Copies of this chain bind each other. A is one copy, B any other.
Amino acid sequence: MYVRNCWYVAGWDRDFPAGVPTPVTLLDEPLVFYRQSDGTITALEDRCCHRLAPLSHGQIEGNDLRCMYHGLRFAPSGTCNEIPGHTAIPKAMKVRSYPVVERYSVIWIWMGDAAKVEESLIPDFVGVDDPRWHMLPGRMDYEVNYELIQDNLLDLSHIAYVHRNSFGGGRADTNKAWAEAQLCITPLERGVRVERWMKNAPTPPHQVALAGPVCDVLTSFDYLVPGIFLLTSANYLPGAAERSGAERPTETPVFSSFTAQAVTPLTRRSTCYFFCFGPSARTPGAADLKQAFLELGERVFNEDRRMLQAQQRIIDADPSRRMVLFDVDKAPMLYRRLVERLLKEEAAGAAAA
């Protein structure tokens, strides 16, 4: 059900303060994160091996985490290194420890086979500390299976309908441009790339000051395993699409913005949606625009959430119903096929081991 040998975003780095164990459920597994004395982030199974009490109710002691039910103490490796009043420690007394890395303003966790951990598989994320963009961290929980968010992001034609009054500014011509744009869809080794030229597209009211009234807009995103979405939107002077032909334009955009997002399954029916979104650092007054972009993101993703949660309820009312897919679903289908291949490979790897 989940690809496991990959890096998931567990949260923004700032969501894990020192001194307190932080419980997080990921892929239906209860985890506890804490920071060692030097700040190193650590993740253990949130379940003491003794009586299955949550370690997140425990106490950090130096680099270790002590269960506060009967006092067993665990090292970052998951090994129990103290049982109060006992000198012998049974060998079975250990909990699972997960590989974690702090990078690009987020915490990455490897949910699969620790023997296969490979740091190079961490996607080239762009976090809120990247100097090229001005962005603030956002998050939103959806009561849906992660696949619904994935399908939603991989087909942006929904912007013309779900976001007609937010991104679309309530303008029929803007929304028509979204619904009818030509796409260039490319499979990547661990994802799918979608590029979309909207020519002579009217700018939504709230961006006219930044981008001018009409532009050629190139939006281009990569959706990468296991749910990393990186999108650049660049507004060019009209005619830029013609001028650049099949190539990426070489001219400087009038305005550009960027969003990085991560779709992390919490459980079968709940998913965490991390996002940051903001203007290019070259935009005049970019730093002051951060908050407005965060709020636009929250408004827009709330529109998605409302639709997707309703969709999930309809699906659950009769799980036997199949979707009827067609052209518009090419990118979501490519990505699903990639996931199915990875799942098959992991199952084969596990069977061979």
Q: A-side interface residues toward B, CB under 8 Å?
A: 25, 28-30, 46-47, 49-54, 57, 67-71, 83-86, 90, 92-93, 151, 155, 157-158, 160-162, 164, 176, 179-180, 306-307, 310-311, 313-315, 317-318, 321, 323-328
Contacts and interface: CB of A to CB of B under 8 A. Distances in A.
Given A157-B85, A328-B86, A68 B321 contact: no
A180 B52 contact: no
Contact of A68 (B47, B51, B161, B318): B161
B157 A311 contact: no
A60 B29 CA distance: 43
Contact of A54 (B49, B67, B311): B311
B160 A52 contact: no
A22 B277 CA distance: 36
Given A90-B324, A307-B69, A84 B317 contact: no
A109 to B, nearest CB: 17
Given A324-B93, A326-B90, A28 B70 contact: no
A180 B84 contact: yes
A172 B317 CA distance: 48
A326 B89 CA distance: 9
Given A90-B326, A326-B90, A51 B179 contact: no
A52 B328 CA distance: 15
5 nearest CB pairs, A to B: A84-B179, A85-B180, A53-B311, A68-B161, A49-B324
6 contacts: A51-B151, A57-B307, A68-B162, A85-B179, A85-B180, A92-B324
A89 B310 CA distance: 25
A323 to B, nearest CB: 5
Contacts of A70: 155, 157-158, 161, 328
Contacts of A46: 314
B54 A314 contact: yes
A317 B180 contact: no
A300 to B, nearest CB: 14
Contacts of A30: 314, 317
